[in-house]
Amino acid sequence: MTFVPADILDETLAVVREAGAIILEQWDRPSSITLKGRIDLVTETDVAVEEFLKQKLRGVLPEAGFMAEESAGDAPLGELTWIIDPVDGTTNFAHRIPLVATSVGLWHCGKMVMGVVNAPVLRECFHAVRGGGAFVNGRSIRVSGTSVLEHALVATGFPYTIREDVEEVLHWLSRSLVTTRGVRRGGSAAIDLAFVAAGRYDAYYEIGLRPWDTSAGWLLVEEAGGRMTQLDTNESFNLFARGVLASNGPLHDPLYALLKG
């Protein structure tokens, strides 16, 4: 399935948008919040959206397995696997900050072949299929043309291991702040990658991400003409990399050199 049939894409988009309705339904209601780690949250909405997605996506591709943040985070990547983050930006959701997204990627034979990032509160649904380009609400998107770091708007995020990694994170942040036009921290890796694909951010970097954070966004960036590598080495990206560096392309190597300097 290196080529994703139109009906599979359409069914997937419909399912993900339906899942977004669950987020919107619960947006104005109090959340039941529990902790997975010191600062890592999960709400009943995360669980409900993930269960809905798994149930519905089984009907789209019954032969596919699941790697899903809340219920199957340790599942292996099989030949055909849905990779799901039901609510990327759970802390944002808990505080009713609208940078919240559902990320669904489809992995087939060693590569991403489809990715959907739906930001229901923003009313924006991004999608890409391998070889077919990247889109938001059905409109084609491309990465920016910025070629000078001083003109670049860069996004980043802070890992749940911030206590252990704070010196490294602050080193990257200080270098970015004094060299670029500005740095943004939105709190959703899926949205950050989608915004790079759409040319809103010129680049994005972060460590401590998991496959469900990056799977759909990775394909969005590449199909929009951008580049994505491992932050530690600048080598080809993989879903289990410690960190990610995504950009419009021209800024990629200069930004890597800046961060690692």
The 10 Å Cβ neighbour count of residue 205 is 23
Domain that holds residue 180: 149-260
Report the amino acid identity of residue 151. H
pLDDT digits (tens, 9 = 90+) for 45-67: 999 999 999 999 999 999 999 99
In Å, what is the CA distance from 138 to each residue of 112, 125, 149, 162, 195?
Answer: 20, 8, 30, 37, 15
C-alpha 8 chain-centroid distance: 21
Residue that is written with structure tokens 């920016």 in the block: 144
- Per-residue pLDDT at 209 exceeds 70: yes
pLDDT at 41: 57
Q: What is the pTM of this model?
A: 0.95
Q: Do the Cβ atoms of 47 and 33 come closer than 8 Å?
A: no
Q: Which of 140, 173, 207 is the last residue of a domain?
A: 140
**Rounded to 5 degrees, what are φ and ψ at 175?**
-70, -40
Kindly state whether residues 178 and 216 are assigned to the same domain: yes
Residue 1 domain flag: no
Q: In the chain, what percentage of residues exceed pLDDT 70? A: 96
For the chain, what is the radius of gyration of the CA atoms? 17
pLDDT at 259: 97
The span from the CA of 240 to the CA of 235, in Å, is 13
Domains of the chain: total? 2
Q: Is 10 within any annotated ligand binding site? A: no
Q: Is 46 within any annotated ligand binding site? A: no
Kindly state whether residues 136 and 10 are assigned to the same domain: yes
The span from the CA of 248 to the CA of 47, in Å, is 34
